Amino acid sequence: MNGFEKRAKLIKQKIMKTTLDMLRTWEPKKIRIADIAKLANVSQVTIYNYFGSKEALLREVLKDYVDRSIQQFEEYMRGDHSFKEKIQFMILQEQQSYQTLSPHIIKELVLDDLEIYQYVEDQKNKRAIPLFIQLINDGKEAGEISPRVSIQTIFTYIGLYMSQAKELYDAAEQSGDPKGFFDELMHVFFYGICGKE
How far apart are the C-alpha atoms of 146 and 100, rounded to whole Å?
Answer: 34
In a domain, 35, yes or no: yes
Phi, psi for 104 (deg, rounded to 5): -65, -35
Q: Residue 34's domain is classified under what CATH number?
A: 1.10.10.60
> Confidence band (pLDDT; 50, 70, 90) for 5?
confident
Q: What is the tens place of the pLDDT at every residue in 95-131?
A: 677 667 776 777 777 777 888 889 988 998 999 889 8
Q: Is the pLDDT of residue 148 over 70?
A: yes
Q: Are residues 95 and 143 in the same domain?
A: yes
Q: What is the predicted pLDDT for the residue at 46?
A: 95
What lies within 8 Å, CB to CB, of 142 at 6+ separation is: 83
pLDDT at residue 134 above 70? yes
Question: CB burial class (10 A; 0-12, 13-18, 19+) of residue 90?
Answer: buried
- Choice between 10 and 197, residue whose per-residue pLDDT is larger: 10
Number of Cβ atoms within 10 Å of the Cβ of 87:
23
Cα separation, 33 vs 168, whole angstroms: 34
User: Do 175 and 106 sit in the same domain of this protein?
Assistant: yes
Q: Are 101 and 170 members of one domain?
A: yes
Tell me the residue range of the domain where 149 lies: 58-191
Give the pLDDT of residue 60: 94
Give the residue, 78 or 96, on which the prediction is more confident.
Answer: 78
Is 197 a domain residue?
no
What mean pLDDT do residues 52-68 have? 92
For the residues of 78-101, what is the DSSP string, one character each? HSS--HHHHHHHHHHHHHHHHHHS
Q: What is the pLDDT of residues 6-50, one digit of tens each?
A: 888 999 999 999 999 999 888 888 999 999 999 999 999 999 999
> In degrees, to the nearest 5, what angle opens at C-alpha 134 toward C-alphas 131 and 139?
130
Q: How many domains does the chain have?
A: 2
**Final residue belonging to a domain, choices 52, 70, 85:** 52
Say if residue 39 is in the same domain as residue 108.
no
Q: Are residues 74 and 155 in the same domain?
A: yes
In this structure, is residue 196 part of a structural domain? no
pLDDT bracket for residue 1 (50, 70, 90) = low
Q: Is there a contact between 26 and 36 (Cβ–Cβ < 8 Å)?
A: no
Assigned domain for 14 exists: yes
Q: Which residues contact 89 (CB under 8 A, 6 or more apart)?
A: 73, 76, 81
